[in-house]
A and B are shown apart, each in its own frame.
Chain A
Amino acid sequence: DIQMTQSPSSLSASVGDRVTITCRASRNINIYLNWYQHKSGQAPKLLIYNAFTLQPGVPGRFSGSGSGTEFTLTISRLQPEDFATYSCQQTYNTPENFGQGTRLDIK
C-alpha cells in the first residue's frame, strides 16, 4: 500500500495569510494526487486533482504543485470560509489512501 503523510496535522493562521500544506507519498505516484476540503456536517469538496488541476468553481487562491512523492497545497490569501480540514488522496493505485488530514484553524 502507498501511505500518504500530511504535514502539519494542524495549523493556525489569520485571514489574508498564505498557507502551505504538504503531502508525501511513500512511493512514486506520478501526479495522481487530489486535494479535498472538508467541513463538519458537509460533504467533502474536491479542490484540485492530478496534483495541480483546479476543479471548476474552486477559487484561484487555491493551487497545487508537485509530482512523484511530494506535493503541496497552497492557499494564497486565506478567507474566512477556508478554515476547514484538508486531505490529500492518491489514486495511482488501490487502496486509494488519504492522508490523515490537516486542520486549519483561525489564529
Chain B
Amino acid sequence: QLQLQESGPGLVKPSETLALTCTVSGASLNGTYSTGGWVRQSPGKGLEWIANIDYIGHMYYNPSLQSRVTISADTSKNLFSLTMHSVTAADTAMYYCARRPFSIGAFDIWGRGTMVTVSS
C-alpha cells in the first residue's frame, strides 16, 4: 500500500529557506497517475492548501504563497518536495504531504506530518 513520509528541518530561522521532502513508498505517484500535494496547519488554525504537482509535472499553487514556494518531483527517487523562501513566524505549522489519485478529486492518503517552527 502506498505510504507517504514527510521530512524536514524542524526549526528554521526567519528569512531562511524551508525545504521539505515527501518520500513515497509502496507505489509511485506517476505510475498510479496521481497528484502529490502539500497542506499545512498552523497552530490553532484550519488546514491550508499550499500546492500540487500532477503526474505529468504540472504545478498548481495557492496564490497567497505562490511567490515564495516551489513544488517539484523526482520520479527516479519517488519523492516530491516543497521549497519555501523567506519564511516568517507565520509559516510555523505542521506540514503534510498527500496523494490524490487520478480517479477522485481528494487526498486519500496523507503523511503523518512534519512540524516546522520558524524562530531565531
Contact = CB atoms under 8 A, between A and B. Distances in A.
A, B in one complex: yes
Interface of A: 1, 32, 34, 36, 38, 42-46, 49-50, 53, 55, 87, 89, 91, 94-101
Contacts of B112: 42-43
Contacts of A43: 96, 110-113
Nearest to B62: A95
Given A1-B63, A32-B105, A49-B105, A44 B110 contact: yes
Interface in B66-120: 96, 98, 104-108, 110-113
Contacts of B111: 43
Given A34-B107, A98-B39, 11 more contacts: A1-B63, A34-B105, A42-B112, A43-B112, A46-B107, A49-B105, A89-B47, A94-B62, A97-B49, A98-B49, A100-B45
Contact of B61 (A36, A38, A45, A94): A94
Contacts of A95: 49, 61-64
B33 interface: no
Nearest to A97: B49
Contacts of A89: 47, 49, 106
B16 interface: no
Nearest to B103: A49
Contacts of A94: 52, 60-62
Q: List the 6 closest A-B pairs by CB distance, nearest first.
A: A49-B106, A43-B110, A34-B106, A98-B47, A91-B105, A100-B46
Given A1-B63, A43-B96, A43-B112, A101 B105 contact: no
Contacts of A36: 47, 107
Contacts of A96: 49, 52
A44 B106 contact: no
Nearest to A4: B46
Contacts of B96: 43-44
Given A1-B63, A43-B111, A50 B49 contact: no
Contacts of B48: 98
